[in-house]
Structure formats: C-alpha cells, structure tokens
Amino acid sequence: QLQLVESGGGLVQPGGSLRLSCAGSGFTLDGYAIGWFRQAPGKGRERISCISSSGSTIYYADSVKGRFTISRANAKNTVYLQMNSLKREDTGVYYCAAFSSVATCIPGQYIYWGQGTQVTVSS
C-alpha cells in the first residue's frame, strides 16, 4: 500500500520545539515535492511549507517563516519539519502530502496524503 506516514507530534509548551517526520511507505519520496499542511480546530487546511524533489526550492507560509524549517533526507525516504518557537496558534493536525512539483503544492493537487499527527501547543 502506497502511503505517507507522519510522526513526531505531541504536546509542547509555548516556545518549545518539535520535529515532524513524513516517511514514504511503499514508494520513494525523491521524485516528489513534499508539502506540510495543518488544520486547526474549526478551520480549513493551511499550507505551511513545501520542498521540491531536489530540495532546491522551498516555500514557507508567512505565519511560520523564520521558525519552521523543512528538509529532506532522500536516503531515509523522509521529509522533516523542524518547528521552533512554537505558539499556541500552531496547534492543529499536521499532514504531509506528495505532489508532482512545488507549483502544484496545494491541498487539491496531492498525489499521496498522510493521516496526520496532532500538535498541541499549550502550557
């Protein structure tokens, strides 16, 4: 079965850090752009970051720029999202998805989509 598997979520205090992982299962990620999205309670799915298959092109939403870092380790078939200086408004379910290119890195254009991992920022 071809799928993406997210991990690394949890409960963290404001100002803390988490690293999310997105692993490919049944296929290799290196031919795909990978995006991270989050969905807060009662809100729509927001694009957080996206990285091209080569890693040379990266997008960040203004809300996370300077605090989050996306990277990929193709040898491990994994894409990471390092989240620092977390805020309460970063709370939500975080999803990763595979796309044909960074240009198509929007929710409706995914090729594969993960099941999500919960991130809760609270004191």
Q: Percent of the chain, pLDDT > 90?
A: 83
Whether the per-residue pLDDT at 37 is higher than 90: the answer is yes
pLDDT the model gives residue 90: 97
Give the model's confidence band at 83: pLDDT under 50 very low, under 70 low, under 90 confident, else very high: very high
Whether the per-residue pLDDT at 58 is higher than 80: the answer is yes
pLDDT the model gives residue 48: 96
Give the model's confidence band at 106: pLDDT under 50 very low, under 70 low, under 90 confident, else very high: confident
Strands (E), the chain: 3-7, 10-12, 18-25, 33-39, 45-51, 58-60, 68-73, 78-83, 92-99, 112-113, 117-121
The stretch 101-114 carries a mean pLDDT of 89
